[in-house]
């Protein structure tokens, strides 16, 4: 399999003042538009892959088993496991916060 060549994009902004030329901004936004979707897709794939889901399930099972074996009350164990499971869902929590902010804006 041929070695993948890495595409590198560089933008040089030449300026004589504090103003940034519109063409430079347009070029910068074009690069961002090309790169961000891939970064987001990679992040979602890393967080929500089958392997990640399996590790997540094993972690929850291990925590439940360990806490139960320690003799903690069932309601306390469930509460702690729920909090652990909730803390792992980073993207879900971020999206939930975005939705809350959006709802607040619409209410104003």
List the pLDDT tens digit at each of the 108 positions of the chain. 445 555 666 766 666 666 777 888 888 888 888 888 888 888 888 777 888 889 889 999 999 999 999 999 999 999 999 998 888 777 667 766 665 544 555 555
CA dist., res. 83 & res. 96, Å (int): 16
What are the sequence ranges of the domains in the chain?
A: 22-107
Cβ count near 60 (within 10 Å): 15
CB 11 within 8 A of CB 27: yes
């Amino acid at each position: 399999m041929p070695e993948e060549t890495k595409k590198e994009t560089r933008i040089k902004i030449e300026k004589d003042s504090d103003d940034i030329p519109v063409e430079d901004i347009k070029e910068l936004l074009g690069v961002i538009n090309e790169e961000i979707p891939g970064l987001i897709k990679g992040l979602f794939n890393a967080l929500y892959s089958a392997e990640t889901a399996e590790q997540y399930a094993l972690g929850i099972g291990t925590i439940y088993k360990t806490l139960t074996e320690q003799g903690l009350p069932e309601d306390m164990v469930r509460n702690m496991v729920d909090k652990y499971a909730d803390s792992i869902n980073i993207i879900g929590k971020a999206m939930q916060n975005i939705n809350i902010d959006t709802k607040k804006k619409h209410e104003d």
